[in-house]
C-alpha cells in the first residue's frame, strides 16, 4: 500500500492511497512511478511496517525447500525477512510490474526466486502446489466478490495443510469500508474504467469482512494474528494441519 496517508512524511514516494477524488492511475504504472524510494516509504510511512514485515515472515514455513507463492510481491520487501529465516525456501513471485520484479531479481539472485509478470486474477495458480501463499499490501484495491474469486484460486493452489498469510491494509469499521467501496465505484464510472482494467484505487474491507471472504472461498480456519493501526495479518488454513 502506498498512499496519501504517508504524504506528510514523504510526499514524493507516497504510495498508500489513491482517493477516489484524485484521478486514478493504472496499477503497474502507479508503482513504477514511485519505484525510487519505494521500500523506504513502505517501512517508514506505514505505521507498524517495521514489525509486521518480520512478523509475516515468521508465519511462513521454516522447512528447507518449502514452496511459497508471493502474490503482489513488488520488490520483495517481505522476502528480506523470509529469506533470513528460511534461505532454502522456493519462492514463486507474481507481480504486474516487470520493473518491480527486476529489482527483486537483482536483490535476491543468490536465492533464485522464480518471478512471473502478470495479473494474479487472470493467471493459473495451479493445484496442490504450494506449502504457503503470502500477500503483503497488495489486495486492498479489490471488492469482496473479486476477493472470493481470487482466494478460491489460492485455496486450490495450496497443498492440504497449507496456509495463506494475508498482511494488508484493512478498514476499521463497516461504514468506512462502505465509503471506500462507493467512492471506488464512483471513480470507475466517472473515468469509464473498463472491466478487468486494474487501477490503483484503495478500497479496503474490514478484517471481519475479509475473513468472511476467505471462509467463503473454502478456507477451513481463518485467524487474525496481528493488527497495527490499519494493517492486519490474517492466516487462512486449507485443511486441518495448520
Ligand X SMILES: C[S@@+](CC[C@H](N)C(=O)[O-])C[C@H]1O[C@@H](n2cnc3c(N)ncnc32)[C@H](O)[C@@H]1O
Binding-site member from 13, 66, 96, 157 for ligand X (CB under 6 A) = 96
- Residue 16 or 238: the one with the smaller Cβ distance to ligand X is 16
| Closest listed residue to residue 167, CA positions, set 97, 118, 122, 225 | 225
**CA geometry: angle at 72 spanning 12 and 129, to 5°?**
165
- Which triple of cell numbers denotes residue 50? 517495521
Pick the binder of ligand X from 68, 93, 100, 235 (CB under 6 A). Answer: 100
CA distance 28 to 119: 10
Of 102, 51, 109, 115, nearest in space to 83 by CA: 109
Does position 198 interact with ligand X (CB under 6 A)? The reply is yes
Q: How far is the CB of 30 from ligand X (least distance, A)?
A: 8
Nearest residue (CB) to ligand X, 15 versus 166: 15
Kindly write out the interface string for residues 209-238 of this chain, putting x where it contacts ligand X by CB under 6 A and - elsewhere.
------------------------------
Q: Does 136 bind ligand X (CB under 6 A)?
A: yes
164 counts as binding ligand X under rule CB under 6 A: no
Q: Determine, following the binding rule CB under 6 A, whether residue 92 of this chain makes contact with ligand X.
A: no
d(CA 170, CA 192): 26
58 Cβ neighbours under 8 A, 6+ residues apart: 81, 85
Residue 124 CB burial class (10 angstroms; 0-12, 13-18, ≥19): exposed
Which of 92, 138, 231, 232 binds ligand X (CB under 6 A)? It is: 138
The residues in 3-62 that bind ligand X, with binding defined as CB under 6 A, are 15, 27-28, 31, 42
Instruction: Report in angstroms how near the CB of residue 224 gets to ligand X at its nearest.
Output: 18
- CA 190 to CA 100: how far, in whole Å? 29
Binding window for ligand X (CB under 6 A); candidates: 106-114, 117-125, 209-217, 220-228: 117-125
Closest residue to ligand X in the complex (CB): 74
Q: Which region holds residue 233: left if phi is over 0, alpha if psi is between -120 and 50, else beta?
A: beta
Residues in contact with ligand X by the rule CB under 6 A: 1-2, 15, 27-28, 31, 42, 72-74, 77-78, 94-97, 100, 119-121, 136-138, 198
Amino acid at each position: 500500500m502506498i498512499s496519501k496517508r504517508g504524504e506528510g512524511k514523504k510526499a514524493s514516494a507516497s504510495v498508500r492511497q489513491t482517493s477516489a477524488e484524485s484521478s486514478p492511475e493504472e496499477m503497474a504504472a502507479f508503482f513504477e512511478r514511485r519505484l525510487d524510494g519505494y521500500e523506504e516509504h513502505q517501512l517508514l510511512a506505514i505505521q507498524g511496517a517495521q514489525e509486521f514485515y518480520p512478523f509475516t515472515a515468521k508465519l511462513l514455513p521454516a522447512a528447507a525447500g518449502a514452496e511459497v507463492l508471493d502474490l503482489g510481491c513488488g520488490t520483495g520487501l517481505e522476502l528480506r525477512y523470509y529469506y533470513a529465516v528460511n534461505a532454502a525456501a522456493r519462492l514463486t513471485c507474481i507481480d504486474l510490474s516487470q520493473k518491480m520484479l527486476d529489482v527483486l531479481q537483482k536483490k535476491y539472485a543468490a536465492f533464485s526466486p522464480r518471478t512471473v509478470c502478470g495479473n494474479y486474477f487472470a493467471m493459473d495458480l495451479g493445484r496442490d502446489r504450494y506449502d504457503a501463499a503470502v500477500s503483503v499490501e497488495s489486495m486492498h484495491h479489490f471488492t469482496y466478490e473479486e476477493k472470493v474469486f481470487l482466494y478460491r484460486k489460492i485455496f486450490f493452489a495450496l497443498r492440504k495443510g497449507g496456509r495463506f498469510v494475508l498482511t494488508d491494509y484493512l478498514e476499521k469499521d463497516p461504514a468506512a469500508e462502505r465509503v471506500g467501496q462507493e467512492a471506488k465505484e464512483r471513480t470507475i464510472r466517472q473515468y469509464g474504467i473498463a472491466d478487468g482494467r486494474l487501477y490503483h484505487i484503495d478500497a479496503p474491507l474490514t478484517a471481519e469482512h475479509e475473513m468472511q471472504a476467505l471462509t467463503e472461498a473454502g478456507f477451513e480456519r481463518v485467524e487474525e494474528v496481528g493488527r497495527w493501526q490499519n494493517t492486519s495479518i490474517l492466516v487462512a488454513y486449507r485443511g486441518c494441519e495448520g
